[in-house]
Amino acid sequence: MLVAALVAASACDARAAWTDGPPGGGERLPGPVAQDVDYAEPVSAPAAPDLALALLDGTRVSLAELWAERPVVLVFFSSWCATCADQQRTLSDLTAAHGDAVTFLGIAGRDESDAVMDFLVDHEVPYPVAMDADHTAARHYAAEEPPLIAVIDRGGGLLRGFPGGVADAATAEELDATLTALYRRD
């Protein structure tokens, strides 16, 4: 009982310590695209499903609005998914590497918001997260089992899916190369 209370207290303290807004919220969306970023012309790809989602802090986002400015990486995960937890450091590193040139957006399904919030704190997830309580996003992106990553180019073409996420270094490098091909910095 005491251990549970200490864990809960430390999670609350960790949430309060975030300086750039609460985990999973709208403050985690990237700002304007930097002047030195040039995007490749979109390639012919199937249209990605546009969805309106609510982030954990209630901020509403439209995927079409996100991909109008920059490529989008959808990260389907669940707080109870051990594979998702194992991959989070790699995803955080990729988020940092691609900075404001790419939007990463987590989508949590089959989960409770408190458990998701704990996951975000425990794994220091740097990107915004939406709850997919009715599994609409999962159905549209065929994310039957977490983890799954979907890459959407600027303009809304569904370029690539990574079922199983970034399970190994080769897949992480492949995702990095896919993202790097979508833009360049002057």
pLDDT of residue 22: 76
Q: Which two tokens stand for residue 138?
A: 């999962």
- Give the type of residue at 132: D
Domain spanning 2-185 has what CATH number? 3.40.30.10
Supply the pTM of this predicted model: 0.88
Q: Break the chain into its structural domains and give their ranges.
A: 2-185
Flag whether pLDDT at 19 surpasses 70.
no
pLDDT of residue 20: 59
